[in-house]
Amino acid sequence: MNTQQIQEVLTHLIIGITALYTIVMVVDFVVEIVNLWQKFILNIEYHINHTISEQSHLESSDIKKSLKLENQNQSTNHITSKPELQPDNFVSIDVDKIDLRTARKIASAIKKASKSNPDLIIKQKVNNKCVPLAWLQAQIKHRLELAPEIVTPIIRELAPTAFTSVRENIQHSNIAKTGKRKVS
């Protein structure tokens, strides 16, 4: 073989290798485009299904809310049909009247009384520092909302001054109003 024939064979070999690599790259590109398209379609289907499930969840929660409102309305109707209680029986708790020492005692008593429910426990130290009175009062008020059947007797025993009846509140507001009238 002479040099010219060798050169032509090498040229054809380079052209063949280049064509082969080009074909492999085009096939790989097409496969990746198809893959990406399938992922895109799956993503759209997921979002459509997710939004539909969210809408159905919202609709079911709306239905539950309306059922709760109907139940509350029915229970309110039952309550209004019963004889009304005397105003002396209504008692409110003014947590702001509780001092620091009493608040700590209440927190300890709640901890002892709620061994079965650790959510009611009030921490008296955070980061090895005693918590302030306002924080304790806020926690007591929150626990009072969560479990009044546990917390109310404890407050009644340890801080009786925090209890006020509605009649006392009415008398205090009347005194304040008459006091203002006398001043003017």
The mean predicted confidence, pLDDT, of the chain is: 76
Percent of the chain past pLDDT 70, that is, above it, reads: 65
The rounded distance, in Å, linking the Cα atoms of 123 and 103 is 11
Q: What percent of the chain has pLDDT over 90?
A: 27
The pLDDT tens digits for 86-140 are 344 456 888 888 999 999 999 999 888 887 788 788 888 888 888 899 989 999 9
Spell 50-75 as b/e; 16+ CB within 10 A means b. eeeeeeeeeeeeeeeeeeeeeeeeee
- Residue 105 burial (CB count, 10 A): 16
pLDDT digits (tens, 9 = 90+) for 24-53: 999 999 999 999 988 888 877 776 766 665
Name the strand (E) or helix (H) holding 106: helix 100-113
Amino acid identity of residue 51, one-letter, is T
Q: What is the pLDDT of residue 115?
A: 79
SS3 of the chain: helix, strand, coil, percent, to 5: 80, 5, 15
User: 46 or 75: which carries more pLDDT confidence?
Assistant: 46
